[in-house]
Amino acid sequence: AQTVTQSQPEMSVQEAETVTLSCTYDTSESNYYLFWYKQPPSRQMILVIRQEAYKQQNATENRFSVNFQKAAKSFSLKISDSQLGDTAMYFCAGTTSGTYKYIFGTGTRLKVLA
């Protein structure tokens, strides 16, 4: 069985500052994929970043980067230079090859303060 745990229900950060959202992922599979999704008030699920478990290099997408610690089962998201538009719910998710069913964490509500 796979589990995804997000232990920070809410966080806030000042505009232009850096914030890190935490996630832990547990699976018995060796080949898996991890994601961070952003859900603004519009409800749309927007892919922020993805990480393949077999890659040692941490993924980066502009202001967003991950710290993937495989042994610790940790997959945190760092947002640099936070912007007001980053205010949203952020979900950590994982999947394995085969049926590609996603398992989601309970989310972290991030508020960027002006």
Partner 1 sequence: NAGVTQTPKFRILKIGQSMTLQCTQDMNHNYMYWYRQDPGMGLKLIYYSVGAGITDKGEVPNGYNVSRSTTEDFPLRLELAAPSQTSVYFCASTVNTEAFFGQGTRLTVV
45 binds partner 1 (CB under 8 A): yes
Q: How far apart are CA 13 and CA 38, in angstroms?
A: 16
Tell which residue, 89, 112, 104, has the closest CA to residue 23: 104
104 binds partner 1 (CB under 8 A): yes
According to DSSP, the β-strands at 74-79 and 19-21 are antiparallel
Which of 7, 44, 60, 69 is in the footprint of partner 1 by CB under 8 A? 44
Q: How far apart are CA 34 and CA 69, in angstroms?
A: 12
- The contact pattern for partner 1, residues 51-70, with x = CB under 8 A and - = no contact, is --------------------
The residues that touch partner 1, with contacts defined as CB under 8 A, are 4, 6, 9, 33, 35, 42-45, 47, 50, 91, 93, 95, 97, 99-102, 104-107
